[in-house]
Structure 1
């Protein structure tokens, strides 16, 4: 018999058909000091008995992995707020490091965040304030916090803060808080903008967003002060916009070309160049990704950066999706495939073909419109293994074909075939002992319970 391969245990931990008794057994495992397999700790819908085991696990690595789970309920993760390990509390405070860009992570309750912000460990407080998963209500509540780092974060909720709290932040004793507040206030106050542009630390951002006195704008143009930032400023006088549209600096002309008030004819008369992989933020489009008028203006433009910005909206109507799908811009196609559930199948296939690797595999597995029917007949004998693995997705793929593809020269094709529940059971059992196939075999939902149990036994997981 070929030796058992340890990655089979990781596969079983991910298996959607894993019975609860085996899951609980896995979660109590110390893993030789590494803790239980991460896939067991970060499963969706863990039962209360499983959560209790994780919370009481003697290995902090187990609790850290659970604290950073994007699938766990916030109230479940929140129970780690009093964990004795600062590393666990730090992981909880920051939250998941990565999640599907088509989904959002539910934030921890505000009262739990407040406790973490008062934690005795500086790393916990820092992680919380750096977290991208904070609730807007909690961010706004930080405006009166005693920690200046917290008050600086509160500035992100500037539009929702009452006038007295805004005034207090503008007069805050901490200079970094005053500067952050002023960079929001300057959008409606030219006097504040004039003060900020004298500070090298804030000049570029103030010139990009602040309300400008004409004299300040003229002085900055004459001195060529942060011209690419100034070219984005909404309050820049029209004659200065026209002057910057023919500036000698390529970056300045490109910034002007993205201004929202320009008509399409005027926009496309500007001499600008867009790099093949440039996907910079276009703020007025980003802020309007749910606004039909903004999306239509961006998606019907001939400007590549506006098309790429529009492609990041999950709210595109069908006619704009079809329009963007015909742009022949690979980056537009990539962004559509990531962000929009109704991306046409032909676009998804082009992206799959072009990118290959991990991204294509993730997209094929998770995108709701990725094609399935007819792939076996079309690709089972394709010379490229990246295509042969698509044959596994076809509902018409037979056990015989899957058996054949499980021996394919391309490892990704073999793994795809071995993960399919239609694979003959004898081949599935065999794959558990093949190093590059063990994980896929362990994760196969058709793996019998006795085989899962045997995997745990061979890995010395206590009963």
Structure 2
């Protein structure tokens, strides 16, 4: 019976009175399903969940990945800590996280305890643009967050943080400045040889190094520090040049990614024996298209190629994206394909690209990909985010039943149940398919004949999906409640 009630809880056509009944103590076993798996609620049901006496219900809403973030944000002032921390945590790691509304984030930053805030900071629910705005926030602890986007602030905004009235904000801003101060780095590192732990390694990797520290790293008899020197932005050119022949390809790969790499060294690494190094060199901005094409690089076609959380990063430069889109190098075209603001003409160009990664990245990341690209990407790429393509509002569902109901591959037959005009006889037949996902999808399909739908309610496997079918009569829904 629980499976039937769980299906009823997610039925998009379930009326308000049925959903409210499911929130009563008698149906405690389906509370979490109701609050965490539906994509929308009638207003009365939303209010009932937000004010439900049991925190498990409110906490389930806080973790619901399907509802609008505004709905999740309704529990921002919940009296129970566990509900607040669940809101702060990412709702679902299997799909891109959507940002919380600005007022909700503001409320959390100014009222939540440190444990909840740590969850929030790692949850990817705070937009990059919100962090940029923190520099003007009236609360010091929020202004302090602006130092995390220091390089993206204006000179005036940085100066304001350095003279902020609150000492904690000023100290945080000064610590950022110290990362580019070799003398300050030496003071933080302490006497040489410095102990090696997480803290000192972070300093050596990210702070400006003095020549004294560089020489110590070069001659450290206890360990090879070449990767640190290859990575650190302040490593002197003569030391960088001496690392080009290092036997570890990981060191040479770091060199290939340096912004300040001398052109002579770029040419050396373009002929590196390791394909990863050559590939990293091939996308360097100083190269011409012909120079890129001359490099023997490797382009991986087995990556995930999934959707990105664009709100967590600065917006791409439109000019750079346009240049990348027209490049002969597939890795640069992939960068363009990730830009959600790519103009329609370039979208049309990349939708026909010969590179699988370009096409699939475009399908996942642009808000208006060509419908045929979405279908093609689903059929050609089997990455973990593949099924998200079928949820896109532009996914072409018309005619999928006739095209794929008899496909030999189960992944293709699953497309048939997405067709809103699926023939009733085909829907009936697919409830007997060998693939369980296809059987379940057919049981939920609104074109399933009524007699078969009612019969499936007694099926141990398909009763739940049948109870989620939106054409299930309301009288039958109410009857399932007893």
Q: Secondary structure at the match of 1:276?
A: coil
Q: Is the 8 A contact 1:28 1:53 kept in 2?
A: no
Match of 1:331 in 2: 357
Unmatched segments (≥5 aa) in structure 1: 458-463
Say whether 1:115 aligns with 2:102.
Answer: no
Match of 1:201 in 2: 202
Between the aligned partners of 1:78 and 1:378, the Cα distance in structure 2 is 42
User: What is the root-mean-square deviation of aligned Cα atoms in Å?
Assistant: 4.3
CA drift at 1:427: 0.9
Moved over 6 A (4+): 142-147, 189-199, 206-211, 285-289
Which of 18, 22, 38 is 2:14 aligned to?
18
Q: Secondary structure at the match of 1:97?
A: coil
Aligned length in residues = 438
Match of 1:156 in 2: 149
Which of 39, 48, 57 is 1:53 aligned to?
48
Which of 308, 322, 338 is 1:312 aligned to?
338
Structure with the bigger RCO (C-alpha within 8 Å, sep 6+) is 1
Change (3 A) 1:71 1:275: closer
Q: Is the 8 A contact 1:70 1:99 kept in 2?
A: no
TM superposition score normalised by structure 1: 0.77
Q: Secondary structure at the match of 1:109?
A: helix
Between the aligned partners of 1:106 and 1:37, the Cα distance in structure 2 is 24
Q: Is the 8 A contact 2:6 2:30 kept in 1?
A: no
Unmatched segments (≥5 aa) in structure 2: 195-199, 208-228
Match of 2:239 in 1: 219
Change (3 A) 1:356 1:126: closer
Say whether 1:28 aligns with 2:24.
Answer: yes
CA drift at 1:265: 0.9
Between the aligned partners of 2:6 and 2:450, the Cα distance in structure 1 is 19
Q: Is the 8 A contact 2:371 2:394 kept in 1?
A: yes
Match of 2:429 in 1: 404
CA drift at 1:26: 1.8
Q: Is the 8 A contact 1:102 1:338 kept in 2?
A: no
Q: Is the 8 A contact 1:10 1:39 kept in 2?
A: yes
CA drift at 1:420: 1.5
Q: Is the 8 A contact 2:337 2:362 kept in 1?
A: yes
Q: Is the 8 A contact 2:9 2:19 kept in 1?
A: yes
CA drift at 1:151: 3.9
TM superposition score normalised by structure 2: 0.74
Structure 1 range deviating more: 97-106 or 84-93:
97-106
Between the aligned partners of 1:145 and 1:124, the Cα distance in structure 2 is 18
Q: Is the 8 A contact 1:228 1:255 kept in 2?
A: yes
CA drift at 1:127: 1.3
Per-residue Cα deviation, 1:363-397 (whole angstroms, up to 9, x for no partner): 22x22333333333333333333333333344543
Between the aligned partners of 2:185 and 2:287, the Cα distance in structure 1 is 24
